[in-house]
Chain A
Amino acid sequence: MNEVVDHRPLLTHEVGSLDKPGWRVKAYAGKPLDDKDLEEARSWGERLQVPEYERLLDLLRHAPFSKEQKAELQRWSSLYAVRLEESAGLDVVYDGEQQRTEMYDWAVSHANGFERRGSVRAFDNKYYSKAAVVGAISLGSPFHNAEFSYLVSVAEAELKIPVTGAYTIADWSFDERNRAPENLLQPAAQRIRERKAARRDFVLEVARNLIRPNLEALITLGARWIQVDEPGASTEADELDLFVDSFNASVEGLNAMFSTHLCFSDYNLFFPAIERMEHCQQFAVGFANYDSRELGTSDEARPGYQVIKKFRDLPYQPALGLGVLDIHSDFIESPELVRDRVLYAVKLFGDPHRIHVTPDCGLRTRSWKVAYEKLRNMTAGVELARKQLGI
């Protein structure tokens, strides 16, 4: 484990996104702000003790905004988000991706070789703008440098940068590099073989030519912990080896701590494929979504956490990012519930230095009020667990 983040047992951190404040969204979109938006900026500024937040209020009163002013508003949004996480007591923070459009779009917007194709449903009633790869893939310009440089200047806590992973970028894109469609009269086995080979080339090209150079740029700027987000990783059960290869191709030989975030799925699917993922020093995994809300540290009380034994037994001994907050619900987990989830994990997983405590996923679907309360209870619950463990 990297000594930078291995400084305390049961380290706490966020996982990625936070909702964007109404004033940030409206101002950026050129929509009129109302008193409610200004009050939101004022009350959170005061509550989080954001330095000189009155300057933001003054800026918000002077719409319409120039391009530079919009960029300044994004930085204010980042500052607020960092302060929210620091104020909640997290050991490692980021800005809830306040300066990005969305995890897929932001990466693709800074890449060469992609063309937009239109909106496609992601899940429920959520849509994203899907692109097709039509030529050689390369990094247009490093796409997290500006936000990272800014956050280094304002964050008091350690930073962890969330970056969308190669497999997810590829899986959420169309591959139009070869526009000749399959001839369905050809034998299916041959077609499937060729399809898999093309898919492999595509995913690894994204890893090598887009994600890796962007990571290198971040490391040059001083990034020490980079979280590779892979919500698409388990989409195709027969491509988990490819997911692992893409992670390895993205990070192998680079000098930083790399972790990965796996979103909701049957985590058993990842084994044994991730046994080869030795460059991953932490797996941040959502468990609370599958768990009961009862207190207790028995197997029966904690059904959502059974799979952590498999992560424990990985040969390269990564840390576990233990999801203890259900991000799909406004239910506020009590400190005692967080404590029991952590204690149960320590019982199963062992060394608390290898357990980091986190929400299940990014909290962007929750209001700031709910996210803040959840995070505060998470850190309070971790303190209870530390006390009980005598650490």
Chain B
Amino acid sequence: MASVPKPRVVTLPSPYTFSRAAHNVADRNRLMQDLAERLLNPAIKTAEAAGARLIHVEEPWLTYYGIADADWKPFAAAIATMTTGVAATVILHTYFGDAGPHLERLMDLRVTGIGVDLVQTDVAALGRHWQDKSLLIGCLNGRSSVVEPLDQTVELTRYIADKVMPLDLYLSSNCELQYLPTTVAEQKVRRLGEVAGKVKELVSV
């Protein structure tokens, strides 16, 4: 951690994705709770103690495969357990699917913010109730080799900042960049920085 520039981000799997991807599990909700309590909460606290300020929790399963109604309550409990005693910002980042149908319930989870994959999710679905929640927008496509134009992405970001008005706005790729060659991934990361810089400049004006 010491060699990583601040602000430090640590990425971890969501207990829901983790429990659903595991093999040979009799009770997945029990596993989800156990993971949150015995693995993820201590891992987040360790990262926090080492200087992490943003905990990025990846949740592709929920938006790709869905979630049963009956699993929402255990999922919310597991998230609450995972974040108990944590002071760092925790973002639950959904991707590989449309977050729209799940947003109402996602907003009730005990995390600082929610991440949405805008390649799959309609901007209009974000609504306007983000005054108490941070929003991470996956605004660069991590599965496409075409680098998004600066102006178009700045316009998107400004629109969301102005219309959705989240507590804080984070910019990211819609998913991990491991699906891209390193050179393309680097271009996308640089583009993200350019977008953030430009938006900050415009917003401050």
Contact = CB atoms under 8 A, between A and B. Distances in A.
Interface residues of A, number: 20
Contact of A185 (B147, B156, B178): B156
Given A184-B119, A188-B120, A189-B122, A120 B180 contact: yes
A188 B174 CA distance: 14
Nearest to A118: B181
B173 interface: no
Interface in A150-196: 174, 176, 179-185, 187-189, 192
Interface string B141-185: 100111111001001100100000000000000000011111110
Interface of A: 117-121, 130, 132, 174, 176, 179-185, 187-189, 192
* Best-buried of B152, B159, B181 by chain A (most CB within 10 Å): B181
Contacts of B184: 117-118
A174 B119 contact: no
A117 B181 contact: yes
A313 to B, nearest CB: 27
Contact of A132 (B121, B125, B145, B183): B145
Given A117-B184, A120-B179, A184 B145 contact: no
Interface string B108-133: 00000000001111111100000000
A181 B148 contact: yes
Nearest to B139: A184
B48 interface: no
Interface residues of B, number: 29
B144 A181 contact: yes
Given A118-B184, A120-B179, A120-B181, A185 B155 contact: yes
Q: Choose among B100, B139, B145, B148 the residue with the greatest number of A CB atoms under 10 Å from its CB.
A: B145
Given A174-B144, A185-B156, A185-B159, A119 B139 contact: no
B7 to A, nearest CB: 25
B58 interface: no
Contacts of A174: 144-146
Interface in B74-127: 98, 100, 118-125
B181 A182 contact: no
Given A184-B139, A185-B123, A188-B120, A119 B181 contact: yes
Contacts of A183: 152, 156
Interface of B: 98, 100, 118-125, 139, 141, 144-149, 152, 155-156, 159, 178-184
A80 B124 CA distance: 62
Contacts of A184: 118-119, 123, 139, 156
B195 to A, nearest CB: 12
23 contacts: A117-B145, A118-B182, A118-B184, A119-B181, A120-B178, A120-B179, A120-B180, A132-B145, A174-B144, A179-B146, A181-B141, A181-B147, A181-B152, A182-B119, A182-B141, A183-B156, A185-B155, A185-B156, A187-B122, A187-B124, A188-B120, A188-B123, A188-B125
A165 B122 CA distance: 34
Contacts of B178: 120-121
B144 to A, nearest CB: 7
Nearest to B65: A237
A211 to B, nearest CB: 22
Q: Which 10 A-B pairs have the closest CB atoms?
A: A118-B181, A188-B122, A174-B145, A184-B118, A181-B148, A117-B181, A181-B146, A184-B156, A132-B145, A117-B145
A177 B149 CA distance: 16
B156 to A, nearest CB: 5
A258 B145 CA distance: 33
B120 A192 contact: yes
A118 B183 contact: yes
A232 to B, nearest CB: 13
Given A118-B181, A187-B124, 16 more contacts: A117-B181, A117-B183, A118-B182, A120-B178, A120-B181, A180-B146, A181-B147, A181-B149, A181-B152, A182-B119, A183-B152, A188-B98, A188-B120, A188-B122, A188-B123, A188-B125
A149 to B, nearest CB: 35
Contacts of A185: 123, 155-156, 159
Contacts of B159: 185
A214 B119 CA distance: 35
Nearest to A173: B145
A188 B121 CA distance: 6
A176 B145 contact: yes
Contacts of B100: 188
A185 B179 CA distance: 24
Nearest to B149: A181
Contacts of B181: 117-120, 130
A238 to B, nearest CB: 11
A118 B155 CA distance: 30
Find the residue from B120, B122, B139, B152 having the highest chain A CB count within 10 A: B122
